Chains A and B, each alone.
Chain A
Amino acid sequence: MKKIILLLLVSPCLVFGQDDLLGELEKGSAKETEYAFATFKGTRLGNGHTIETKNAGSLEFIFGHRFGAINGGAYEMFGLDQAYVRLGLDYGITDRLSLSIGRNSTDKTMDGYLKYKLLRQSKGAKNFPLSVTALGGMAYKISPKDEDEPEGFEDVDRLSYTGQLLIARKISTNLSLQLMPTYIHKNLVESYEENNQVALGIGGRLKLTKSVALTTEYYYNFSAPDNSTLTDDQKQYDAFSLGIDIETGGHVFQLLLTNAIGLTERAFITETRDDFFAGDIHLGFNVTRTFQLKKNK
Chain B
Amino acid sequence: MTQPKNLPFLFFVFVSLTGYSQQRYIAEKAIISFFSDAVVEDISATNEKVTSIFDAVDGEVAYLMSIKDFQFPNKLMQVHFNEKYLESEKFPKSSFQGKITGFNVATAGKQEVKATGKLTIHGVTKSIEAPGTVEVNGNRLTVKSKFIVKLVDYNIKVPQIVWQNIAQQVEVTLDLVYRPL
Q: A21-B97, A248-B162 are in contact. Are A37 and B83 (CB under 8 A)?
A: yes
- The smallest beta-carbon distance between A23 and chain B, in angstroms, is 8
B88-134 residues at the A interface, CB under 8 angstroms: 89-90, 92, 95, 97
Chain B residues positioned under 8 Å from A38 (CB to CB): 79, 82-83
Say yes or no for A157: interface residue by CB 8 A criterion: no
Sorted from nearest, which 10 A-B pairs have the closest CB atoms? A21-B62, A55-B75, A248-B162, A22-B62, A16-B20, A25-B64, A249-B163, A210-B84, A295-B73, A38-B83
With A5-B13, A28-B51, A296-B73 known, 20 other A-B pairs at CB within 8 A are A5-B10, A9-B13, A12-B13, A12-B17, A15-B20, A16-B20, A19-B58, A25-B51, A25-B52, A25-B95, A29-B51, A29-B64, A55-B75, A210-B159, A211-B84, A211-B159, A248-B163, A292-B76, A295-B73, A296-B72
Interface size on A, as a range, is 35 or more
Bound-state CA distance A37–B51 (Å) is: 24
A12-48 residues at the B interface, CB under 8 angstroms: 12-13, 15-16, 19-22, 24-26, 28-29, 32, 34, 37-38
User: Residue of A at shortest CB range from B159?
Assistant: A211
User: Residue of B at shortest CB range from A251?
Assistant: B162
A38-80 residues at the B interface, CB under 8 angstroms: 38, 55-58
Bound-state CA distance A52–B93 (Å) is: 25
Say yes or no for B66: interface residue by CB 8 A criterion: yes
- The smallest beta-carbon distance between A249 and chain B, in angstroms, is 4
Say yes or no for B135: interface residue by CB 8 A criterion: no
B1-60 residues at the A interface, CB under 8 angstroms: 1, 6, 9-10, 12-13, 16-17, 20-21, 24, 51-53, 55, 58, 60
Q: A5-B6, A9-B12, A296-B73 are in contact. Are A34 and B68 (CB under 8 A)?
A: yes
Say yes or no for B74: interface residue by CB 8 A criterion: yes
Bound-state CA distance A262–B52 (Å) is: 56
Residues of A within 8 A of B (CB): 1, 5, 8-9, 12-13, 15-16, 19-22, 24-26, 28-29, 32, 34, 37-38, 55-58, 95, 173, 210-211, 248-250, 290, 292, 295-296
- The smallest beta-carbon distance between B173 and chain A, in angstroms, is 19
Q: A22-B64, A173-B90 are in contact. Are A58 and B76 (CB under 8 A)?
A: yes
User: Residue of B at shortest CB range from A170?
Assistant: B89
Bound-state CA distance A244–B144 (Å) is: 47
Bound-state CA distance A197–B122 (Å) is: 49
Interface size on B, as a range, is 35 or more
Say yes or no for B145: interface residue by CB 8 A criterion: no
Q: A296, B163: Cβ atoms under 8 Å?
A: no
User: Residue of A at shortest CB range from B13?
Assistant: A8
Chain A residues positioned under 8 Å from B62 (CB to CB): 20-22, 24-25
Chain B residues positioned under 8 Å from A292 (CB to CB): 73-76
A-B contact pairs, 12 of them (CB 8 A): A5-B9, A9-B12, A9-B16, A12-B13, A21-B55, A21-B60, A25-B95, A37-B79, A38-B79, A38-B82, A249-B163, A290-B76
B78, B87, B165: the one contacting A296 at CB < 8 Å is B78
